[in-house]
Amino acid sequence: MRQHIQELIRYRSLVNSLVIRELKARYRGSFLGFLWTFLNPLLLLGVYALVFNFYLRIRMEHYAGFMFVGLLPWIWFSSSLLEGTNSITAGGSLVTKVLFPSQVLPIVKILANLLNYLLSLPILFGFLWAMGVYQGWPLLWLPLILFLHLLFIEGLVLILATINVFFRDVQHILANFLTLLFFLTPILYPLSQVPPPFNKWVKLIPMTQITLSYQDIFFYNRAPDLRILLVFMALSLILLGIGMFFFERYKETFPEKV
């Protein structure tokens, strides 16, 4: 674990360069270019708001704002998992180079999507303020919540990216699993609308725990539940430790498998 962290620190300049290259390549040749960073979540918001607010008629004040708060970190999470899981197999020419640190590839995908999320926050604030939903001192919790979410994603991605090198079906299974997880996580509906005893099971989903924290500071203007954050932190550190160990254990075999 220590070696993995030391390598990432050592190659931080390379990580920065690859993140910038990733963002440029993502919108290269597109007429709207970087504007898609803002348009994609807004288009998704429009579709889900139409379906759930008007067709399924979920009764909640400022529902679109509530949904937007949970949708943005979900996009970061799901995009990072999908792209990060495929990062080693997709980076074939780089992975096969003797001196190339393969551990930078997953974190590049995660940080690129994190940057997209951060750039979307002004749109979120403007959207919420226009609805009369304001934020205060609880926003001071945001750096900690982001950091814990980052650790959680990194741990999962390291595990999945390693397994995907040997079993390429992982990336396809993951896409379907994320669709299921999205609807199980209280993003499109408040947790209070989940009937018992199912609400107890929904609370155990890690993405529910971090989503509730985002909703607390952005939508409800209150401090997140410390018990939830502590549980999520413990889970994130465990996953990160397992992910780093798993990745370091098998990374020497990546070139021949890729």
Instruction: Kindly give the confidence (pLDDT) of every residue in the chain, 258 residues in length, as a single tens digit, with 9 standing for 90 and above.
Output: 667 777 787 878 888 888 888 887 777 666 555 666 677 777 777 777 777 666 666 677 888 889 889 999 999 999 999 999 999 888 767 777 767 788 899 999 999 999 999 988 988 998 899 888 889 999 999 999 999 999 999 999 999 999 999 988 898 899 999 999 999 999 988 998 888 888 889 999 999 999 999 999 999 999 999 999 999 999 999 999 999 999 989 888 887 776
Q: What is residue 50's predicted lDDT score, i.e. its pLDDT?
A: 73
Q: What is residue 45's predicted lDDT score, i.e. its pLDDT?
A: 74
Size (the chain), residues: 258
Q: What is residue 241's predicted lDDT score, i.e. its pLDDT?
A: 94
Q: Is the peptide bond before 197 cis (omega within 30 degrees of 0)?
A: yes
Q: Look at the chain and report how many structural domains it folds into.
A: 1
- C-alpha to C-alpha distance for 258 and 165, rounded to whole angstroms: 7
Q: What is residue 163's predicted lDDT score, i.e. its pLDDT?
A: 94
Q: Which of 193, 140, 136, 60 is nearest to 68 (CA)?
A: 60
Q: What is residue 205's predicted lDDT score, i.e. its pLDDT?
A: 94
Q: Which CA distances in Å does 195 have to 59, 200, 201?
A: 15, 9, 11
What is this structure's pTM?
0.90
Q: What is residue 114's predicted lDDT score, i.e. its pLDDT?
A: 95
Q: What is residue 100's predicted lDDT score, i.e. its pLDDT?
A: 77
pLDDT per residue as tens digits for the range 200-230: 899 999 999 999 999 999 999 999 999 999 9
Structure tokens at 224: 């997140």
Containing domain of residue 9, as a range? 2-257
